[in-house]
Amino acid sequence: MNYSYSALSPGGSGGFGGVDQHNRCCRNKAWCVKDICGIVCVIMTWLLILFAEFVVMRLILLPSNYTVFSTINMIIFQALAFLAFASHIRTMLSDPGAVPRGNATKEMIEQMGYREGQMFYKCPKCCSIKPERAHHCSVCQRCIRKMDHHCPWVNNCVGENNQKYFVLFTFYIASISVHTLFLVLTQFAECVKNDWRTCSPYSPPATIFLLLFLTFEGLMFGIFTIIMLATQLTAILNDQTGIEQLKKEEARWAKKSRLKSIQSVFGRFSLAWFSPFTEPSCRTRFNSHFYSV
């Protein structure tokens, strides 16, 4: 395990102040992990969403002769695409719950309520006191509170502070995938029923290629995000993160009820649950997360 024992003893020294600019951008206002693999995955995600936007709008909905059908589905598709994109951005640019680096100083230890001689764990990689249920991420190079996993598609860890946005991202991508597959099926039926030359502004080979690629994309993203969404919801309801399940860690913390677990991620039930622009109203205080793991 990547932890080391430390004991508070007289004569300790060190300082902890200022703003930590590690993994920060936009004048320190946003969290941003500078990982090449993650950045490439993020760009690929955006390009795939834009491709779906292009095919659905340019090939399926805008040329449609059924005004009511195209208008309703256009509103649904654009709303889901916007919410999926916003959830992705919020997940990527939100601090997942990073523990301050180098907080294992005498001053900080005393502020946290540790007494002289009391034993605690310290992460040797980022020189931080290990909070309850925190794990060190080698990509973010930080200890993350309630770390579930590091997801390259959002170029960030999924942790205590951004799990809601990640769940919304998987939910909206799954929804837009199902909606896209429905629209592709209706377009195929329309083209087979009528003439392939009149059902699309493009040639029949180009139309078939675009629809088949969009079908593959919808199936791939739909299956992946539905599985991920189910995994995330199960972990939340069981009050056990993905990495805790993977390592088969025994619950040394007081497990919450399913209602309390849901509220700890989304807040009290309201329409704000489905908004990537609101933060959960129920937040656990930071200091309550420190314990020996």
Q: What is the pLDDT of residues 109-163, one digit of tens each?
A: 667 666 666 666 778 888 788 777 889 999 999 999 999 999 999 999 999 999 9
d(CA 119, CA 30): 34
For 22, 23, 250, the CA distances from 28, given in Å and listed in that order, are: 9, 9, 37
Residue 225 lies in a domain: yes
Any idea which of 43-47, 74-78, 277-281 has the lowest mean pLDDT?
277-281
Q: Is residue 21 within 8 Å of 71, Cβ to Cβ? A: no
**Amino acid 19: pLDDT:** 56
Read off the pTM.
Answer: 0.86
Output the CA torsion sign for 19, 23, 27, 29.
negative
Radius of gyration in angstroms for the set of CA atoms belonging to the chain, rounded to a whole number: 23
d(CA 36, CA 23): 13
24 or 45, higher pLDDT: 45
Residue 292 lies in a domain: no
Q: Is 151 a catalytic residue?
A: yes
The tokens for 191 are 């083209």
Domain total for the chain?
1
**DSSP-based three-state secondary structure for 152:** coil
Sequence-distant (≥ 6) Cβ neighbours of residue 290 within 8 angstroms: 112, 120, 129, 130, 131, 132
Q: Where are the alpha helices (DSSP H) in the chain?
A: 36-54, 67-93, 106-111, 163-193, 204-237, 242-246, 258-266
Residue 144 lies in a domain: no
Q: Is residue 176 within 8 Å of 52, Cβ to Cβ? A: yes
Residue 123 lies in a domain: no
Residue-range definition of the domain harbouring residue 45: 29-97+151-282
Residue 254 lies in a domain: yes
d(CA 3, CA 136): 10
d(CA 160, CA 284): 9
> Mean pLDDT of all residues in the chain?
85
Measured between its terminal Cα atoms, the distance across the chain in Å is: 10
Residue 39 lies in a domain: yes
pLDDT digits (tens, 9 = 90+) for 6-23: 444 333 333 344 556 788
CB-neighbour burial class of residue 178 (10 A; exposed 0-12, middle 13-18, buried 19+) = middle
Residue 84 lies in a domain: yes
Catalytic residue among 126, 143, 151, 199: 151
Among candidate residues 135, 124, 126, the one with its CA nearest the CA of residue 101: 126
The tokens for 128 are 């931080």
Residue 15 lies in a domain: no
